[in-house]
Amino acid sequence: MRSVLLYTAARFAIFLATAAVLALLGARGLLLLALAVLVSGIVSYVLLSGQRDAMSSALVRGVKEQRRRLERARTKEDGGTP
């Protein structure tokens, strides 16, 4: 969960920094938002690949754990027969 929050915070920070730079360069309104989304997406893709991998691994572990818990609960509910 921590890696998901860190990745999200980093993406948001990159977006805000990109929007600020573009605003200083004169972009306004919808153009500012569109360019900030595009540029920050590219920058995030390059700079945050390690964090993205860590987040992905954490999510996969979480899903596997949930499946194990669900399977244990289902097996227990069925009286121990798989």
Work out the pLDDT band at 77, boundaries 50, 70, 90: confident
Give the integer Cα–Cα distance in Å for 46 and 2.
Answer: 21
pLDDT at 3 over 90: no
Entry pTM: 0.75
Q: Do residues 38 and 55 lie in contact, with contact meaning Cβ atoms separated by under 8 Å?
A: no
Q: Name the pLDDT band for 15 (thresholds 50, 70, 90).
A: very high
At 69, is the secondary structure helix, strand, or coil? helix
pLDDT of residue 10: 96
Q: Is the dihedral of CA 64, 70, 74, 77 positive or negative?
A: positive
Asked if the model's pLDDT at residue 82 lies above 70, the reply is no
Q: What is the pLDDT of residue 49?
A: 94
Looking at residue 28, its pLDDT comes to 96
